[in-house]
Amino acid sequence: MKEAIKYMIISALAFTFMNAFVKSLDHFSVYQIVFFRSIGSLFFTMPFLLKNKISLLGNKKGLLIMRSIFGLISMTLFFLSIKYIAMGTAVSIRYIGPIFAAFFALLFLKEK
């Protein structure tokens, strides 16, 4: 099996387990879950950035901050949806996003 396929399968399983885990954490606030998930991501990315001498603030600080804000909002809303509606429905709504992005690119940006 090719290396990329292995990574894709591992990624799909990891996201599935994470979604199930978030669904099972009824006694925690969504904001606490988002905080600890972000801390977990920090532990994986920080050594990579330091090892490769990549700036923590990037080259375009404004875009990085905007991406961070939208990522935080996105993760919070997704975890809220997992807690309050069926997991299959929440995941389906999340993965329909690129279809809307393509539609709005056609409509507003006049993409072909």
- Read off the tokens for 25: 């954490």
Query: How confident is the model over 29-70, as pLDDT tens digits?
Result: 999 999 999 998 899 899 999 999 888 888 888 899 999 999
Q: pTM of the entire structure?
A: 0.76
CB 25 within 8 A of CB 33: yes
Residue type at 92 in one-letter notation: S
Cα 91 to Cα 95: distance, rounded to the nearest angstrom: 6
Query: How confident is the model over 15-29, as pLDDT tens digits?
Result: 889 888 888 888 899
CB 83 within 8 A of CB 30: yes
Cα 41 to Cα 112: distance, rounded to the nearest angstrom: 36
- Other C-beta atoms within 10 Å of 85: how many? 11
